Structure 1
Amino acid sequence: MNLTIDKQQNENEVVVKAAGEIDAFTAPKLREELALLADGKNKVITVNLKDVTYLDSTGLGVFVGLFKQLKNNGGELRLLEMSERLKRLFQITGLSHVMEIRG
């Protein structure tokens, strides 16, 4: 149940790379880290999920909350390089229609 979060700041974008499992145990850490980045100064938050091996409903909730926070601040959320399994989770929940998700 480990999760690592690496951040890289560019001009108006923060690129976040998550690795490990996003579940009820690790989601609060991710939520806290991402919420700090979505304060209005960063117009785009890009999250690379290539190395995420597991995502449950708590993790989905983190991304829904982040999406709403960014949208309210005029920002954008991009999710990159997720596995087919994770893409399917976002499709089933309807989130793939409101968020930018790229292979």
Structure 2
Amino acid sequence: MSMSMGNVMDLKITHEKLNGTHYLELEGEVQSYTAPKLKKILDPLSEKTKQDIIIDVEKIDFIDSVGLGVFAGVLRSTNRNNSTLMLRGMTNRVRRLFEVTGLIEMVEASKNKKTISFLS
């Protein structure tokens, strides 16, 4: 099942479910105008138990505090529900945003440094 969420202001979200894992690809900006659409998609996924959610953030140009708040909220929800949240393709720019805000302390880099997964 593949479905594209289309352009929401400056954010394109593509969502696909394969073998029980949810794959999302984000392109554009995750900011105050686009973050609610991302939250609307991620919240129900993160509230289910034992879900695997992989988000490709390689094509993200910008994330503001509202966007970072969406990721933090989804992290808390996945932890409560024994689910896994992974960020794939984190660029240096996005990584710096996570570092400046302290969110990077909540993540663990995988061996290939291309995938970031939130800690439980």
State TM-score, norm by structure 1.
Answer: 0.89
Cα distance between partner residues in 1 of 2:87 and 2:108: 6
Between structures 1 and 2, the one with greater strand share = 2
> Which of 23, 27, 35 matches 1:19?
27
Q: Which runs of 5+ in 2 are unaligned?
A: 1-8, 115-120
The count of corresponding residues between Structure 1 and Structure 2 is: 103
The equivalent of 2:88 in structure 1 is 80
CA drift at 1:100:
4.3
CA drift at 1:39:
2.6
Cα distance between partner residues in 1 of 2:20 and 2:48: 10
Cα distance between partner residues in 2 of 1:74 and 1:5: 24
Distance 1:76 1:99, change over 3 A: farther
Distance 1:24 1:95, change over 3 A: same
Q: Which runs of 5+ in 1 are unaligned?
A: none
> Which of 71, 74, 93 matches 1:66?
74
C-alpha contact (below 8 Å) 2:49/2:82 kept by paired residues: no
The equivalent of 1:48 in structure 2 is 56
C-alpha contact (below 8 Å) 1:35/1:66 kept by paired residues: yes
The equivalent of 1:34 in structure 2 is 42
Structure 1 vs Structure 2 CA RMSD? 1.6
**1:14 is matched by which residue type in structure 2?**
H
Identity of aligned residues (%): 32
RCO comparison, higher one (Cα < 8 Å, 6+): 1
State TM-score, norm by structure 2.
Answer: 0.78
Q: Whose radius of gyration is greater, 1 or 2?
A: 2
